[in-house]
Amino acid sequence: MKRGDFIKTDVKPKLMQRSVLRIQKALRTGMILSLPLICGIGVQLVKCHGDLVVLSVRAGSAAEKAQIATGDRIVGVNGTNVVMLGLDCEQVAALVSGVLGSTVRLELVDTEGRDVHVTVPRLPTQPVSQEQL
Protein backbone atom coordinates (compact mmCIF):
# COMPACT_ATOMS: atom_id res chain seq x y z
CA MET A 1 0.00 0.00 0.00
CA LYS A 2 1.31 3.42 -0.88
CA ARG A 3 1.00 6.38 1.40
CA GLY A 4 -1.83 8.63 0.29
CA ASP A 5 -4.42 6.01 -0.54
CA PHE A 6 -7.77 5.90 1.10
CA ILE A 7 -9.06 2.39 1.38
CA LYS A 8 -12.65 1.55 2.07
CA THR A 9 -12.40 -2.00 3.33
CA ASP A 10 -16.11 -2.75 3.64
CA VAL A 11 -16.91 -2.25 -0.06
CA LYS A 12 -17.71 -5.55 -1.70
CA PRO A 13 -15.70 -5.82 -4.95
CA LYS A 14 -18.51 -7.39 -7.00
CA LEU A 15 -21.00 -4.72 -5.91
CA MET A 16 -18.58 -1.96 -6.77
CA GLN A 17 -17.79 -3.58 -10.14
CA ARG A 18 -21.52 -3.79 -11.00
CA SER A 19 -21.97 -0.11 -10.14
CA VAL A 20 -19.04 0.90 -12.32
CA LEU A 21 -20.38 -1.20 -15.21
CA ARG A 22 -23.82 0.46 -14.90
CA ILE A 23 -22.26 3.92 -14.99
CA GLN A 24 -20.08 3.02 -17.98
CA LYS A 25 -23.14 1.70 -19.85
CA ALA A 26 -25.11 4.86 -19.06
CA LEU A 27 -22.25 6.99 -20.38
CA ARG A 28 -22.01 4.91 -23.58
CA THR A 29 -25.73 5.04 -24.29
CA GLY A 30 -25.98 8.77 -23.65
CA MET A 31 -28.17 8.40 -20.56
CA ILE A 32 -25.51 10.35 -18.68
CA LEU A 33 -23.68 13.00 -20.66
CA SER A 34 -20.75 13.37 -18.30
CA LEU A 35 -19.63 12.57 -14.80
CA PRO A 36 -17.10 14.49 -12.75
CA LEU A 37 -14.10 12.32 -11.98
CA ILE A 38 -13.80 11.99 -8.22
CA CYS A 39 -10.23 11.74 -6.94
CA GLY A 40 -8.31 11.76 -3.71
CA ILE A 41 -4.82 12.89 -2.78
CA GLY A 42 -3.07 9.53 -2.46
CA VAL A 43 -3.01 8.71 1.27
CA GLN A 44 -4.11 5.77 3.36
CA LEU A 45 -5.42 6.59 6.83
CA VAL A 46 -5.86 4.63 10.02
CA LYS A 47 -7.60 5.71 13.22
CA CYS A 48 -5.37 5.22 16.23
CA HIS A 49 -6.35 6.32 19.75
CA GLY A 50 -8.79 8.85 18.31
CA ASP A 51 -6.26 10.32 15.88
CA LEU A 52 -6.48 10.04 12.08
CA VAL A 53 -2.95 9.00 11.17
CA VAL A 54 -1.43 8.81 7.69
CA LEU A 55 -0.46 5.16 7.32
CA SER A 56 1.06 5.49 3.86
CA VAL A 57 1.50 7.92 0.96
CA ARG A 58 1.37 6.69 -2.62
CA ALA A 59 4.56 7.38 -4.57
CA GLY A 60 4.10 10.21 -7.05
CA SER A 61 0.79 11.29 -5.50
CA ALA A 62 -0.32 14.83 -4.78
CA ALA A 63 0.13 14.09 -1.07
CA GLU A 64 3.75 13.09 -1.62
CA LYS A 65 4.36 16.29 -3.60
CA ALA A 66 2.81 18.26 -0.71
CA GLN A 67 5.30 16.50 1.63
CA ILE A 68 2.63 14.72 3.66
CA ALA A 69 4.43 11.93 5.50
CA THR A 70 3.66 8.65 7.21
CA GLY A 71 2.77 9.36 10.82
CA ASP A 72 1.30 12.81 10.15
CA ARG A 73 -2.08 13.31 11.84
CA ILE A 74 -4.97 14.93 9.98
CA VAL A 75 -6.85 17.26 12.32
CA GLY A 76 -8.75 19.40 9.83
CA VAL A 77 -10.16 19.29 6.31
CA ASN A 78 -11.26 22.53 4.64
CA GLY A 79 -11.62 24.21 8.02
CA THR A 80 -13.56 21.35 9.64
CA ASN A 81 -11.95 19.92 12.77
CA VAL A 82 -12.34 16.20 12.06
CA VAL A 83 -10.92 15.13 15.43
CA MET A 84 -13.41 17.16 17.49
CA LEU A 85 -16.25 15.77 15.37
CA GLY A 86 -14.99 12.23 15.93
CA LEU A 87 -15.02 11.39 12.22
CA ASP A 88 -13.72 8.00 11.11
CA CYS A 89 -11.39 7.24 8.18
CA GLU A 90 -14.21 6.77 5.67
CA GLN A 91 -15.82 10.07 6.61
CA VAL A 92 -12.51 11.90 6.32
CA ALA A 93 -11.84 10.16 2.99
CA ALA A 94 -15.17 11.51 1.74
CA LEU A 95 -14.20 15.05 2.81
CA VAL A 96 -10.77 14.79 1.20
CA SER A 97 -12.07 13.32 -2.06
CA GLY A 98 -13.52 15.58 -4.71
CA VAL A 99 -13.67 16.56 -8.34
CA LEU A 100 -10.48 16.07 -10.33
CA GLY A 101 -8.36 19.22 -10.30
CA SER A 102 -10.03 20.80 -7.28
CA THR A 103 -8.05 21.30 -4.08
CA VAL A 104 -8.46 20.39 -0.43
CA ARG A 105 -7.00 22.27 2.54
CA LEU A 106 -5.58 20.03 5.25
CA GLU A 107 -4.49 20.88 8.77
CA LEU A 108 -1.95 18.34 9.96
CA VAL A 109 0.24 17.73 12.96
CA ASP A 110 3.54 16.28 11.77
CA THR A 111 5.56 13.65 13.60
CA GLU A 112 7.52 16.38 15.42
CA GLY A 113 4.32 17.96 16.76
CA ARG A 114 4.31 20.99 14.42
CA ASP A 115 1.08 22.32 12.92
CA VAL A 116 1.20 22.12 9.13
CA HIS A 117 -1.32 23.62 6.70
CA VAL A 118 -1.25 22.43 3.08
CA THR A 119 -3.47 22.79 0.05
CA VAL A 120 -3.40 19.62 -2.04
CA PRO A 121 -4.82 19.11 -5.53
CA ARG A 122 -7.07 16.14 -6.09
CA LEU A 123 -5.45 13.99 -8.74
CA PRO A 124 -6.07 10.48 -10.06
CA THR A 125 -3.99 7.72 -8.49
CA GLN A 126 -3.40 4.17 -9.58
CA PRO A 127 -5.92 1.71 -8.13
CA VAL A 128 -4.77 -0.49 -5.30
CA SER A 129 -4.37 -4.17 -6.15
CA GLN A 130 -5.36 -7.02 -3.84
CA GLU A 131 -1.66 -7.88 -3.40
CA GLN A 132 -1.01 -4.40 -2.02
CA LEU A 133 -3.76 -4.79 0.57
Mean pLDDT, the chain, whole residue set: 79
pLDDT in tens, 76-130: 999 999 999 999 999 999 999 988 888 999 999 999 999 999 999 988 765 543 3
pLDDT confidence of residue 73 = 95
Buried b (16+ CB within 10 A) or exposed e, 8-36: eeeeeeeeeeeeeeeeeeeeeeeeeeeee
Which one has a higher pLDDT value, 25 or 118? 118
* Distance in angstroms (rounded) separating the CA atoms of residues 95 and 20: 21
pLDDT confidence of residue 66 = 93
pLDDT confidence of residue 128 = 46
Element (H, E) at 48: strand 43-48
Global confidence as pTM: 0.67
pLDDT confidence of residue 46 = 92
Buried b (16+ CB within 10 A) or exposed e, 62-96: bbbbbebbeebbbbbbeeeebbeeebebeebbebb
